[in-house]
């Protein structure tokens, strides 16, 4: 049986995120912002006042949604069903990842990044990290005959908000910097970075940036 408190928090977060997403196109933007603010305050997340939701609060909201999605029953209830693959090093996982990257999208920057990540997967240079479970692995191409599956390595566990704050490079104005191909930049290595879903769960990806020196220069607008 789903925990009523957990269910309430989950749907409050979903509604708040939806209001924030739609607020810019709403004819009643003031009311939308006020509604989102009240919902966020009820969840213990700063709504950012008149300036809107800042990056830290947005990541808190995303982390809350992801944690609730991973465990909607609460710590004292029945656990959710097992995922379709047991580890992110399995053939099923790598096949799902490759299928996702192979799909053409409408956004040019996303398409370029997907192609770069797909090539990195084939080259054995795509690093995949699950900070919530404390695992990282080098991706491998499941379609290559005789390919050997890599095993995940253990890393320190972290929540998404703290992990992204530590790993994504920020500019002078506090916003996340992007490389010339539109990817985020890993603050520790200078490599291209991306965080997105595979079969409904978030992962953090890094792959080599262009140039012998490693990091791309941030894009200029």
pTM: 0.59
SS3 for 130?
Answer: strand
* C-beta separation of 83 from 199 below 8 A: yes
Mean pLDDT of all residues in the chain?
A: 73
Choose between 10 and 191: higher pLDDT. Answer: 191
Give the tens place of pLDDT for each residue, 26-72.
444 444 455 555 555 555 555 555 444 555 655 666 666 666 555 54
Domain positions in the chain: 4-70, 91-207
- Per-residue pLDDT at 147: 82
Average pLDDT over residues 114-126: 93
Residue of 24 and 163 predicted with greater confidence: 163
User: pLDDT tens for residues 121-164?
Assistant: 999 999 999 999 999 999 999 888 888 888 889 999 999 999 99
- For residue 54, give both structure tokens: 């800042």
- pLDDT value for 132: 94
């Amino acid at each position: 049986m789903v925990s009523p408190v957990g269910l309430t928090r989950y749907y409050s977060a979903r509604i708040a995120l939806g209001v924030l997403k739609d607020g810019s196109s709403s004819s009643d933007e003031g009311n939308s912002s006020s509604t989102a603010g009240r919902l966020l305050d009820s969840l213990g997340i700063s709504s950012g006042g008149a300036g809107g939701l800042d990056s830290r609060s947005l990541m808190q909201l995303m982390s809350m949604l992801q944690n609730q999605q991973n465990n909607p029953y609460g710590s004292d209830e029945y656990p959710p069903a097992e995922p379709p693959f047991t580890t992110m090093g399995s053939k099923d996982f790598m096949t799902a990842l490759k299928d996702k990257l192979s799909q053409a999208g409408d956004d040019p920057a996303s398409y370029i990044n997907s192609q770069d990540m797909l090539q990195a997967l084939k080259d054995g240079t795509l690093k995949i990290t699950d900070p919530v479970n404390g695992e990282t692995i080098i991706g491998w191409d499941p379609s290559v005959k005789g390919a050997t599956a890599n095993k995940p390595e253990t890393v320190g566990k972290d929540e998404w908000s703290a992990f992204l704050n530590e790993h994504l490079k920020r500019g002078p104005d506090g916003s996340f910097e992007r490389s010339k191909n539109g990817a985020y930049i890993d603050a520790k290595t200078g490599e291209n970075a991306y965080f997105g879903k595979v079969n409904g769960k978030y992962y953090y990806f890094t792959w080599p940036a262009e140039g012998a020196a490693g990091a791309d220069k941030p894009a200029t607008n």
